[in-house]
Structure formats: structure tokens, C-alpha cells
Structure 1
Amino acid sequence: MKRRAPLWAKVTTAVGASLAVLSGVALVGGQTLIASYTSDFTDNSLLESTSANAASKDIKGPLTMLLVGIDPRNAKTPPLSDSIVVAHIPADMSTAYLFSIPRDLYVDIPADSKSGLRAHKGKINSAMALGSQVDGKIDVSNGFKVLSKAVRGVTGIKDFDAAAIINFGGFKNIVEALGGVSMVIDMDVKSEHLTPEGKQRPRLDRCPVKNTPKGCDHPYTGPQASYKKSAKSIRLEPWQALDYVRQRYANAGVPMTDYDRQRHQQQFIKAMAKEAMSKDVITDVSKLSKILDAAGKSLTFAGGGNSPIEWAVALKNLNVDDMTTIKLPGGGKFDGSSYLGEEFGAGTDDFFEAVAEDRVGPFLLDNPAMVNNE
């Protein structure tokens, strides 16, 4: 009989394999191993309706989780939310639905007294960066709260039951601990950032890092790493996998957008989960420890008073193979000829209403075009 992986293992792999591993630890009784890690990344203050010292409560569906990937250049740089994923689990907790919020979605950015942010319209990935600038320091938790309000504003979701922030810098260490991943490459892709050897491509002389002039949207030059469309899974080194799912620009005559990148990130979710299962990571305490060490402090988690272990146990009977990834329609929003960002297309309001009313399954049966065929 085929072994079933816990859904939490797959959902959290989207934003950090460390939580995927935590699920396995909980299921094999590795409580001692977990104890030294939990306090490092648990921050219940991320959730608006939950105090930092909230008491644990029963975890019952329907549930929504906000999972955010950030890529800060350094500790003093306001973090942009480069990956925003919402997971919805229905009342019967039989499956999960994942959908992405485009990083350039043009939305209402809410005011925030702590950071001094004024309400305005802008790209949603700026919400976290602006909200994190508090008294001359970087407060990632406050930035996350501003982002959460912006996401709730555009989706109509009243509150999130759990949340996680992943620093993309920790992803490479995690994937290296897994030894790479195998993925089907669904389109030809050339890297904007790296050479065929995995090194940073040099910048054009006219596009310095500081005070970059206009016309430097693509500031790099020289040979590029490339990923050829394949019918079968191919083995990717850790740097290749992360580079592939990072790309969103058309290159070498191949059209590409952020919507393609969202799809590739969802494929990466499955690839990492399968890798962990194939190597018995979820049932081998020594392997779990290695992954946790690799994750380090790249993860911050809030579970409304419940620990990652309690979440893992609550979702242990869900099957990763039953998870559905959603592609929400959308396109560019313009003010005359000026590009403002992205906007959702027809049908998304109906989808968000289905999420609020916990009837996503029936909605997708009537709207199969929104289901990613992977």
C-alpha cells in the first residue's frame, strides 16, 4: 500500500520544509527533539486575533493559513513578500486548497500607526516592507500584520487561523539537506540571475547596484543557467531548483509571467514533499534533526496558541495527493500606458466567496479552469 504523507508536510513545504519535517517529528513521537526548536520560531503575535501568550485550543476546520516567503538582502533591509500563499482546509479536514496572491497585485495598503504608514494603493508585496519599518528598525512581525490586513482586504477572509514566514535564505540549506529535488520542467526557462555554474551573473556597467538608473530592469549580462522543458522528472541540484522557481521574466523568446512562477512554486511544493517521503525524512529522527538544523531560524510560525506539533497532529490524516492548487485569473492593471501592477480577473470574487462559505470543492467542480492541471 502506498504510504500517505501528512498534508501539513506538503502545505508547509511551500514556504519551508522545516515545518514539513516538524509534522513527521510529531507523528513519530520526537517531542524531545522538537523542544529546543519550538521557541526559536513561534510568534503568535503574527495573528491579529491572538495574543502572544494564547492558550492552545482544538484545531477544527474550516481553517485558513497565510504562508509568506521573504527574501531580505540583509537584516537592515525591509523584507518584500515575494511569495504569498493562502491554504484553505474545509470543515471536514479532508483536503486542502492552495492559491497564490500575485506579488504585484495592486491593492489597498492599510494604514498602520506603529510604522506610521498611511493608507494608499500599491503593490501588495510592498505592504510587509513598509509595515516593518518601525522606529528606525526592522520589525518583521508588524510588517506581516500589515500584509495580512491587505490580503484579508482583497480576499474577504476575516482572519487567519495560522501563519508562517519563511526567509528564502534558509531554503537553500534545507534543499541541500535533502540532496536536491526531482521536478518536471514544464517550459523552457532561462535564469535572470545565475550562470550555468550557479554563480551570480555580472551586472552591466551601466547598471550599478546603488543608484541604479532607469532602463536597468534586466541589469545582468553573460551566460545564463537554462532549464529545458521535459516530459519526465529531472534531477535538480539545490541551487538549480531554487533558481528555477524564482524566474518570472520572458527570456529567449519564451513568454513568461509571475503566474508561471506561481505554478512552478506549487510544483516545487510537491517535489520537496516527495523528496522528504522518498528518503524517510518524516520517520527518521536523525534525518529530521538534520533538516531542522538546516532550517535554523529561517521560519517564524503562529498557530493561534497551538504549536506546530499540535497542528501537525490535527492534520495528520490528510493526504498530500488530495491537495488542489488553484490558478486565479488575472492580468496587468494600467493607468493609461502606466503599469500599476496586477489585478484579479473575472470569477475571483466568486472564488473568495466560496472560500468564506467553505464550499471551494463544489465551486471548483463548476469552474474547473481554476484548477492547476499538474
Structure 2
Amino acid sequence: MAKDGKRRAPLWARLCAIFGCVLMVLSGGALITGQVMMARYAGAVENKDLFGNEASQTKVSDIKGPLNILLAGIDPRTDEQTPLSDSIIVAHVPASMDQVYLFSIPRDLVVDIPPFGKTGFRGGRSKINAAMGFGSAIGNGKHDPAQGFDLLAKTVQRLTGIAKFDAGAIINFGGFKQIVDAMGGVTMKIDQNVKSEHLQPNGKPRPRYARCADNTCAHPYYGPQAEYKVGTYHLKGWQALDYVRQRYGLPKGDYDRQRHQQQFIKAMAGQALGKDVVTNPVKLDRVLKAAGKALIFDGNGHSVVDWGFALKNIRANNMTSIKLPGKSLFDGGKYVGEGLDPSAADFFAAVSQDRLPAFLLQHPEYINKNS
């Protein structure tokens, strides 16, 4: 209990609320074991320069709002495969440091990607999830997602007008599954009926058509599908991850998937506050280990523990989920990607100028009601 009488979220749970339950560390309270766990977790997280700025690894000041944090979710891949940022989320923390606004950038959004000298990429117009790939090549057929994140960040900055990101993280989707399993599952609301493109009801991969083995088919799978019905359910790790990855067959495609991912983040943040995790040292240790394996982090010279203390007032119930209105783009009847509504320019200006509450008051349609 805090001195003001209000219940404070444990430090690791505050981080969970911001980074989708990935940056989890234990509260720095009275227990010595808590300090040991914090140091252990901080050492487990892989820290890299994600913004192409070696100086970012040197602490220059305290963490103060307003803040903008870029999160990119990627599938597990070898260093010989080109990484794609299939989930791009910006977390905006206002100067008051007591709220967070989450908005997703559509993975198929057609944008201008700037030149990138490290790979010789000359710049061009493409889907935004390709930016990480264009920036990731390090020679000899190898790819580094951390280097690719730098170009992704520059692309999102150009799109949104955000001058710089104060922190960034690459989150491995496979790591999310391990975190949920370590927590004993996650309870979340499913707001629409969804069928899995990828998995069977038992969680095993659906078989592929032989002629689609090279991924040239839009729907290469066949056989029974895992299904998720409207309602509130306690999901296993594979179920939660599978549900939030689906977009095919949904009325609004990737926009529905973005909403589901934001719902997932809030559900995980709420689960993190449960006594079943906080007071269970064995389960907590498993969660911390899973979180450490799931994340590559750049805190601009500040550790995950520094960020946890700075965001001490963030909880799951003061997270606002934002939806960016947009529509599909076609060229001669062929789908080429997504485009945002013109009003998005005003939204991005509100983010850069830290006046989102006023903007959302005038544009309530930007708030995800089901999150």
C-alpha cells in the first residue's frame, strides 16, 4: 500500500501495462528478494541500440513525460530470414505520467519509407511492415531485427510527426505464449466470433496444401480450425496468441486484429496484478524468465527497472485503446494495402503536442469502446 493509501501496482506489473506484460520486474519493496529478482530480470533482458544512436545507451536525464514508446511484434525467425514487424504499437504517456494511450499502426499501411544508408536502401513507398526488413540486412545473407527497428522507427516518425521515441522494444510473439503459460493463462473478453487460419482445435498447426508450401497462396491451410466464440474465457498461451493474430475472415480485417491485440495487452496487465502471480514465487520466477527471453529493449540509457519506477502510476484501468480509422486501397481492383482517414493527421499532431484528451473529446470515434 502506498503512503497516500492507494493500492499501487507492483513494479513488474506497471511495466506489464506499458509493454504488454513483457517488461516484468518485481516491486522494489521491503523484501531483499525483490531487489535480487529485479537485478536478475534486468540482466536477463537483451538491451540493444534500436534507434541507431550509440549515445542512447548513456543515461542523460530522468524519465519525464510526455513519452512515446515504440513496440514491434515479430514472429520467431532465424537470422537468415527477413524480419517483418507484424504488429506495430505506439504507447503515448502524457506529461502527467498517470495514463497511457495505445494505438496500432496497420501492418499493411502504405507509407513513404525513408532511405537507410546502412543497407543501401534508397527509400520508397511500401507497406510499413516491410520497413524493418529493408533496414535489417547486415551482410552474408544475415539479418538483424534491431538494426531493422531503426528504419521502422524513422518510418513511424515520418508518418506521425513524433520527433523521437523515448524507448523501444521488439517483442517475440513466441515469447508472449511462454509468458501467458507461465502466468497460468489469461482471462480476456472475446468480442466477435473468430476462426483460426493457422491452428486446429487442439492447438496443432493446420496442414498446408502442397502447392502452397512456398507461401504463394493467400489461404494455404485446410482442415478443422480452432474457434473463439463471443464471451469471456480463460485462454492458454497458444489460444491467446492465436486469437490475437487472426485477421482473415474478420469484417474489418487488420483493424479488428489491432483491437484484439490491444485488448490482450490490457488483459495481461490486469492478470499481472492477480495475487496468484504476485504471491507465488515459483510462478513469478517463471514469468520473469519468459519475459526476459521475449524482449529486446532500448530505454535510451535507462534500464527496465528505471522505466518501471518512472511509470509507477500506470495501471490497466487507465490505459486507453485507440483505433485509427482507415480503408483498404485498390489499384485496378487489386488490393495494395491500407490508407488512413485524413483526420489521422490531426490525431498525430495531438500526440506530438501532448493534447490527446482534448482531441478524443472532440473525436470519440477514435476510442476503442470494446477494449
The alignment's TM-score, normalised by the length of structure 1, stands at 0.90
Alpha-carbon distance between aligned partners in 2 of 1:93 and 1:7, rounded to the nearest angstrom = 15
- Partner Cα separation in structure 1 for residue 76 and residue 125 of structure 2: 23
Could you tell me which of 260, 265, 272 is aligned with 1:264?
A: 260
* Post-superposition offset of 1:114: 1.0
- 2:74 counterpart of 1:35: no
Give, in angstroms, the shift of residue 25 of structure 1. 3.6
Cα distance in 2 for residues equivalent to 1:273 and 1:196: 27
Which of residues 120, 125, 135 in structure 1 aligns to 2:139?
135
Contact 2:48 2:296 in 1 (8 A): no
| Residue equivalent to 2:346 | 350
Give the match's secondary structure for 1:46: coil
**1:327 CA displacement:** 0.6
Q: What 5-or-longer segments of structure 2 have no aligned partner?
A: none
Mapped to 2, the partners of 1:275 and 1:371 lie a distance apart of 22
Q: Distance in 2 between matches of 1:18 and 1:282?
A: 15
Q: Distance in 1 between matches of 2:301 and 2:183?
A: 30
Cα distance, 1:46 vs structure 2:
1.3
RMSD across aligned positions (CA): 2.2
> 2:368 aligned with 1:372, yes or no?
yes
1:160-181, Cα deviation, whole Å (9 max, x unpaired): 0111111111111111101111
SS at match of 2:111: strand
1:15: Cα distance to partner? 5.0
1:300: Cα distance to partner? 0.9
Code of the aligned partner of 1:356? S
Quick one: percent identity of the two aligned structures? Answer: 53
Deviation at 1:184? 1.4
Look up the match of 1:292: 288
Cα shift at 1:138? 1.5
1:206-355 alignment runs, 5 A limit: 206-208=211-213, 210=214, 212-213=215-216, 216-230=217-231, 233-250=232-249, 255-282=251-278, 285-355=281-351
Aligned counterparts of 2:102 and 2:15: Cα–Cα separation in 1: 8
Residue 133 of structure 1 contacts residue 139 of structure 1 at CA under 8 Å; is this kept in 2? yes
Unaligned runs of 5+ in 1: none
User: TM (normalized to structure 2)?
Assistant: 0.91
> CA–CA distance in 1 between the matches of 2:107 and 2:35?
36
Q: Is the 8 Å Cα contact of residues 330 and 336 (structure 2) preserved in structure 1?
A: yes
The answer (yes or no) to whether the contact 2:328–2:339 under 8 Å persists in 1 is: yes
Instruction: Check the 8 A contact 2:10/2:273 in 1, yes or no.
Output: no
- Give the deviation of 1:311 after TM superposition: 0.7
Aligned residue runs from structure 1 range 189-204, under 5 A? 189-204=194-209
Q: Secondary structure at the match of 2:369?
A: coil
CA deviation string 1:247-288 (max 9, x = no partner): 0011xxx62400000000111112112222123534655443
Q: Which amino acid aligns with 1:162?
A: A
| CA distance in structure 2 between the partners assigned to 1:238 and 1:125 by the alignment | 25
- Structure 1 contact 38–307 (Cα < 8 Å) conserved: yes
- On the 8 A contact 2:195/2:228 being kept in 1, the answer is yes
